[in-house]
Chains A and B, each alone.
Chain A
Amino acid sequence: MDLGSLLTSTLTDTLEVSLPLFRVELALSATIVLVLLCRMLPVLRWLDSALVALGGVAFALWYAWSDLRGLPGSPWPAVVAATHPASQELFGGLLIFDSLTAYIRFLLAGFLVLYILFTKISGIPDREDGADFYTLVLGSSLGMCLMASANHLLMIFMAVEMASVPSYALAGMLKGRKASSEAALKYAVYGAGAAGVMLYGISLLAGVLGTCHLPSMAAELGRIVGDGADSFYVADSAGPIMVLTLGGLMMAVGLAFKLSAVPFHFWCPDVFEGAAAEVGAFLSVASKAAAVALAVRVAFGLGWLGDAADASAAGLADVRHFLVYLIGLMAAVTCTLGNLGAYGQTNMKRLLAYSTIAHAGYLLLGVAAAVAMLGVDPEGCRKAVTALAFYLGTYLFMNLGAFAIVAVLRNRLRSEEIAAYAGLVRSNPGMVVAAGAVLVSLVGLPPLAGFVSKFLIFSSLVEAITKGIERPLMLVLLVIGGLNTVISLFYYLRVLKVMTFDPPPEDRVAAPAPVWLPGALVTAVVVPVVLLGIFWSGLYAYAQLAGTFAS
């Protein structure tokens, strides 16, 4: 191939295939540039950066929505007929566009719209810091979009770092606060350490497998593990398998850090307590959705090669078996320790941090079920991914609602301690009802959204059990998940008990804050929590679409 035809084919691939499916990220990048430009030009300084960011994110949301709608099998009566292929590698295999990518991007863009409105109303950041704050948030979200679509080890690492590095700075956004600077330092040190370990693991995996492209890696992995014969490196196969295991575990460290899964969760409570509630909302919702998507991507990418039954298929079954046990163990420990850690917390943000850890555990239960059924039972696997996607959709509203309530109450009570919420029902009955809906939904009780999503996760575990796939492990995971739901009941309800039954403190000063705007915000976020518990078929249809990516 001569240079000319190489250039032509690269250009065609980039301009005609990749860039049109990359519009969401392009819109986010353009928004970042615009926000910074508006700050720089004296003519545009009067423009509020929240408005600029909101406008750009609205474009991103529209693009994400039309990408999702243009997929084949979309439940929306397509205005334009299915315009995208079901799965398309972008930029020479660095990224992949499929229904999971489209769904997570849509979720992230939708979250950003709500989030910018939320930060605008709650008052952090103030106008002076707005440009910095939204640049960091949008940059981090850009990394999260890439996490959801990564198909190459380089992209996985770059996306994780792109999502992390701005969030370190976000955690330290409250300048002059001791707790905030401490949170940022801890987050940066833990995060950079985890990323370094992950990169070393990636280098081992890439070196032994001789490629960084996930599907090619899976083929090579299946060959090495499967026939046990010599790979291109060594005569005996124990060596490479050992190195691969080590590399895989080191890579799992980085992913577990992003998911705040035990034992890499130490940063989470400290960062959530030290940073503003607004930053906590961003880290707990957006970062989690992207990390789950990336975990699914990596586990599916390394564990499955499509239906082609060749020499590598048996080897990949072993790989999946290993992955299921790794993820399942992590899930069980994460939800148990997350729920136990939440007991005895006196700070609401810290309690929500442990709740986030516990929910990461529930999500990992779903990932374990999906990986267990991958390739063995395609229908069940699709359902498990659907459950995960649905869970992420409802979790967005639940946790955004929880943090919005914390932020609004902070503005009113000047405190984030649970004790300060005592007797709130007498002065702010509406806020307590909203908090009740969110917290009960986080427990997972009907008729709220949290119940449906938790039910879907557990039912995919049951499906694996009834079909006899990894039965002992799935049974253990189901029991642990059920027990955890019961123990989580107490600490969530304790908050409600303090809000309703305890007498209000004598010295409470109700800040004269405008009531209707924060009230409208909380209502807008909490109403979907209730509605999705009853009318869940709409979101479920899109989650089902996301579930088709594995087939």
Chain B
Amino acid sequence: MNIVVASAVPLLGLITEPVSVAHYLVVGAILFVSGVVCMAMKRNALGVLMGIELVLNGANVNFVAFASPYLQGEGSRSLGLDGQVIALFVILLAAAEAAVALAITLNFYNNHATVDVDRADDLKG
């Protein structure tokens, strides 16, 4: 079974087809877009950080889906273990990044008494 990445009506066929990489990619894409929207719209710095987590996890879903040999069509190569290892590294890294970003947010709160990113407007020009 082939995955038609860019056919005329790309998403309709997914409902009737058996679960494949494409289904996972759709979930990943939804997570990614939600994350980007969250990053762009939220005024609360913590909300922005949550958006970043969503983006990273959207990519992670892609990696894991690409890594699985069972989801691929016949005769195709999967990303194999690489994809799963990358996903693990990204989980680790997201935690580290969140720790640093939360510390920075706390530092910002100590100086500004708010975590509203729109209030970070002293530096401009």
Contact = CB atoms under 8 A, between A and B. Distances in A.
Interface in B32-62: 32, 35-36, 39, 45, 48-49, 51-52, 55-56, 58-60, 62
A204 B93 contact: no
Given A182-B123, A196-B35, A203 B107 contact: no
Interface in A342-400: 344-347, 350
Interface string A262-294: 000000011001100000000000000000000
Contacts of B3: 233-234
Interface residues of A, number: 57
A321 interface: no
A181 B112 contact: yes
B89 A185 contact: no
Interface in B69-94: 73, 75-79, 82-83, 85-86, 89-90, 93
A497 interface: no
Given A192-B52, A192-B101, A161 B124 contact: no
Contacts of A211: 77, 79, 82
A189 interface: yes
B52 A193 contact: yes
A148 to B, nearest CB: 19
Contact of A176 (B39, B58, B111, B124): B111
B91 to A, nearest CB: 12
B18 interface: no
A153 B86 contact: yes
A204 B108 contact: no
B120 A197 contact: no
B117 A189 contact: yes
Nearest to B63: A203
A165 B5 contact: no
A344 B124 CA distance: 12
A23 interface: no
A305 interface: no
Nearest to B106: A181
B53 to A, nearest CB: 9
A541 interface: no
Interface in A157-186: 157-158, 161, 165-166, 168-169, 172, 175-179, 181-186
B2 A235 contact: yes
A350 B125 contact: yes
Contact of B110 (A181, A199, A243): A181
Nearest to B75: A232
A200 B108 contact: no
Contacts of B97: 161, 165, 192, 195
Nearest to A238: B6
B5 A184 contact: no
Contact of B77 (A188, A210, A240, A269): A210
Contacts of B51: 193
B11 interface: no
Contacts of B123: 179, 182-183, 186, 269-270, 273-274
A346 B124 CA distance: 11
Given A206-B82, A233-B5, A199 B101 contact: no
B30 interface: no
A182 B52 contact: no
B14 interface: no
A478 B117 CA distance: 40
A232 B75 CA distance: 7
A204 B62 CA distance: 8
Nearest to B85: A154
Given A186-B123, A207-B66, A211-B82, 6 more contacts: A161-B97, A177-B111, A192-B101, A199-B90, A203-B60, A273-B123
Interface of B: 2-6, 21, 25, 28, 32, 35-36, 39, 45, 48-49, 51-52, 55-56, 58-60, 62-63, 65-66, 73, 75-79, 82-83, 85-86, 89-90, 93, 96-97, 100-101, 103-105, 107-108, 110-112, 117, 120, 122-125
Per CB-CB distance, the 5 closest pairs between chain A and chain B, nearest first, are A196-B55, A207-B66, A239-B5, A203-B62, A232-B76
